Amino acid sequence: MSRDRIAPALSFAIVLALWEWAARAGWVADYIVPAPSTIVVHIYSTFGLLLRHSYITALEVGLGFLLAVVGGIGIAMAMVYVKTVESVVYPWVVVSQVIPKVAIGPLLLMWLGFGLVPKVVIAFLVAFFPILVGAMIGFRSVEREPLFLLRSMGSSRWQTFWHLQVPTALPNIFAGMKVAITLAVVGAIVGEFIGANVGLGYLLLYANGIIDTKLLFAALVMISVLAMIAYWLVALAERLFIPWHVSVRQDTARPTL
């Protein structure tokens, strides 16, 4: 293992060990903060249940995020390439962002029912904005010379879009997507808090209600794992799609302060 992997692993192990020791020494009551080993055992014994709820939350996050990608990029393109669309749509986009999603959650539930849809919508609403902003900056970052170059080749609008504008925009879009995916998880959990009978957010509230701290922590661990996997998938896609970009490639010297 290389040095830059040992250090974080070690710090993680130390924190866990201290936590375990504090819990076993009776410094904190078991029903307030259970020991890590207890949580692990509990996750193992209730894994089927956790997985069932995780699946629903993952579905909400995934659908909300996909909608956010399609919607964010689509709206950004319309705004960048059609001037009137920007002046008409952008204020609405900003309004949609300044309204706290938690506050309109109950309303969404009333409109859209108790099931999957309102959670997907909330995840979408919180996740699409960073993607939209990233895509707008990206599509606007095309410089003059490459455009001139393509024009002198007789490039069609579509060719210019595909060969220049999309690759130029991708790094910013991925930056937005990385922020968006973590927000989408929060959105789905908040949606489940407001009203659900399934999902990790629901499980968390349920465990809280019956003061089952072990289950509560188990749900918490599952949410963290879910968010981490989701983020990792986006980061993986980034490495696959833009291996050429300065932020991704391995060869470049990193700036220091």
* Closer residue to another protein (CB): 45 or 159: 159
How far apart are alpha carbons 127 and 117 in whole angstroms?
15
Site string for another protein, 128-147 (x = CB under 8 A): -----------------xx-
Residue 159: CA atoms inside 13 Å, Cβ hemisphere, count? Answer: 10
Pick the binder of another protein from 149, 225, 228, 237 (CB under 8 A).
149
- In sequence order, what are the residues at sequence separation of 6 or more whose Cβ sits closer than 8 angstroms to the Cβ of residue 33? 19, 22, 23, 213
Closest CA relative to residue 131, chosen from 174, 182, 169, 171: 174
Task: Report the residue from 36, 78, 155, 231 that binds another protein according to the rule CB under 8 A.
Answer: 155
Rounded least distance, CB 201 to another protein, Å: 40
Find the length of the chain: 257
> How far apart are alpha carbons 21 and 15 in whole angstroms?
10
The piece of 10-18, 84-92, 125-133, 245-253 that touches another protein (CB under 8 A) is 245-253
137 burial type by CB count under 10 A (0-12 exposed, 13-18 middle, 19+ buried): middle
Considering Cα of 122, then 187, then 126, then 194, what sign does the dihedral take? positive
Question: Among 95, 246, 253, 257, which residue sits at the site for another protein (rule: CB under 8 A)?
Answer: 246
For another protein, the binding residue among 150, 221, 234, 235 (CB under 8 A) is 150
Please calculate the CA angle 66-72-76 and round it to the nearest 5 degrees.
Answer: 150
By CB under 8 A, what part of segment 38-77 binds another protein?
none
| Dist. CA 172–CA 201, nearest whole Å | 31
- 224 lies in the binding site for another protein (CB under 8 A): no
The residue count for binding another protein (CB under 8 A) is 21
Residue 252 is a binding residue for another protein (CB under 8 A): yes
Instruction: State the sign of the Cα–Cα–Cα–Cα dihedral 40, 41, 42, 48.
Output: positive
By CB under 8 A, residue 248 contacts another protein: no
Dihedral sign computed on CA atoms, order 210, 213, 215, 216: positive
**Residue 251 interacts with another protein (CB under 8 A): yes or no:** yes
**Exactly one of 102, 104, 164, 198 binds another protein (CB under 8 A); which one?**
164
117 binds another protein (CB under 8 A): no
Q: Are 226 and 58 in contact (CB under 8 A)?
A: yes
Rounded least distance, CB 136 to another protein, Å = 20
Among 15, 28, 153, 233, binds another protein (CB under 8 A): 153
**Shorter beta-carbon distance to another protein: residue 47 or 148:** 148
**Which CB, 89 or 150, lies closer to another protein?**
150
Kindly list the residues in this chain that would bind another protein in the complex (CB under 8 A): 145-146, 148-155, 159, 163-164, 167, 242, 244-246, 249, 251-252
